[in-house]
């Protein structure tokens, strides 16, 4: 210390002043670090202003994972529209929450009377038709895929129109339409099919997309179908189908059960079952357009 004082005095510096200046500098750096630390922590830590639900995806169509209480805190991992992907401070579980339940300034602009499908154009594409039966069942019923997809399409059309949507059909009757002609301008494109395999065991519903930006619609519709429908969950999957590839719009290809599975075949021929499937599709589309 004495040596340092002497060294400073030799350089005509007042040791007291030098120490004070150093002290002030340290204090300033400490303060800056403190401010940076606290503000970054506030940025991704949020709390709930009311009780809410954590869901598996970023809209109300996804299933609830667990319920959370007012005051619970979370770290934000990502954001999709007005929804936040969070991890709970309490149990470290991940999930999605609507931003308007949190302390963040996110407004729920959704009026429950609002019809999110109003004036949206939905293209419905009942698979196969005419000379192309699609898949057929092996049972005495001998169901053809082309008949079931048309029934589903026509029933879905009526339900979507009730929601204020405009519906364009790629076919309205038992006619053959080529794959390249299965396109029309719209806000979403839904191709309707039934699966088949040589084995009778395969069953369930699959929702296909091709372009990456079609994935959110596929996941939303798959979640909605699984919430309501009695078909096992084969998930939302990416596949290079021409009708999906040839459109840049949100588009999905629905495989609504296996016509080769006797149980699925009974279901798809049952109007009540189809009504539940169609309701799930309408609900999924509403959720998708509500938060897009």
Distances (CA, A) of 257 to 167, 201, 223, 228, 229: 23, 12, 15, 14, 10
257 contributes a contact to Zn ion by CB under 5 A:
no
The least distance separating Zn ion from the CB of residue 134, rounded to whole angstroms, comes to: 4
**Residues in binding contact with Zn ion, number by CB under 5 A:** 3
Residue 94: other Cβ atoms inside 10 A? 14
For 230-259, give the DSSP string.
Answer: SS-EEEEEE---HHHHT--SSEEEEEEEET
- Residue that the structure tokens 């609504």 belong to: 256
193 contributes a contact to Zn ion by CB under 5 A:
yes
Task: Fill in the per-residue mask, 76 to 115: x = in contact with Zn ion (CB under 5 A), - = not in contact.
Answer: ----------------------------------------
Q: How does strand 83-88 pair with strand 94-98?
A: antiparallel
Indicate the residue whose CB is closest to Zn ion.
193
The least distance separating Zn ion from the CB of residue 126, rounded to whole angstroms, comes to: 10
The least distance separating Zn ion from the CB of residue 125, rounded to whole angstroms, comes to: 10
Nearer to Zn ion, 206 or 287 (CB): 206
Nearer to Zn ion, 61 or 127 (CB): 127
Window 113 to 152, contacts with Zn ion (CB under 5 A): 127, 134
250 contributes a contact to Zn ion by CB under 5 A:
no
> Using CA atoms, how far apart are residues 233 and 210, in angstroms rounded to an integer?
19
The least distance separating Zn ion from the CB of residue 74, rounded to whole angstroms, comes to: 43
Report which of 184, 244, 247, 193 is spatially closest to residue 218, judged by C-alpha positions.
244
The least distance separating Zn ion from the CB of residue 256, rounded to whole angstroms, comes to: 10
CB 174 within 8 A of CB 131: no
- Which residues of the chain form contacts with Zn ion (CB under 5 A)? 127, 134, 193
């Amino acid at each position: 210390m004495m040596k340092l004082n002497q060294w400073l005095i030799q350089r005509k510096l007042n040791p007291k002043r030098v120490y004070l200046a150093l002290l002030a500098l340290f204090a300033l750096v400490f303060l800056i670090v403190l401010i940076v630390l606290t503000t970054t922590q506030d940025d991704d830590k949020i709390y709930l202003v009311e009780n809410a639900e954590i869901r598996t995806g970023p809209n109300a169509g996804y299933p609830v994972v667990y319920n959370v209480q007012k005051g619970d805190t979370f770290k934000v991992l990502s954001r999709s529209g007005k929804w936040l992907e969070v991890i709970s401070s309490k149990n470290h579980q991940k999930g999605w929450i609507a931003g308007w339940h949190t302390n963040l300034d996110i407004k729920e602009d959704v009026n429950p009377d609002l019809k999110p499908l109003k004036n949206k154009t939905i293209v419905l594409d009942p698979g196969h038709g005419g000379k192309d039966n699609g898949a057929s069942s092996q049972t005495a019923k001998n169901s053809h895929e082309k008949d079931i997809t048309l029934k589903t399409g026509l029933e879905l059309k009526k339900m979507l129109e009730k929601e204020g949507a405009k519906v364009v059909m790629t076919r309205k009757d038992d006619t053959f339409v080529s794959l390249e002609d299965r396109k029309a301008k719209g806000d979403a494109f839904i191709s309707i099919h039934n699966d088949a395999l040589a084995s009778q065991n395969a069953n369930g519903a699959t929702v296909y997309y091709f372009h990456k930006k079609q994935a959110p619609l596929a996941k939303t519709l798959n979640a909605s179908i699984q919430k309501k429908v009695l078909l096992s969950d084969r998930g939302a999957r990416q596949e290079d189908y021409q009708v999906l590839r040839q459109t840049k719009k949100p588009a999905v290809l629905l495989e609504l059960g296996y016509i080769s599975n006797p149980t699925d075949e009974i279901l798809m021929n049952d109007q009540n079952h189809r009504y539940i499937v169609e309701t799930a599709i309408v609900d999924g589309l509403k959720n998708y357009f509500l938060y897009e």
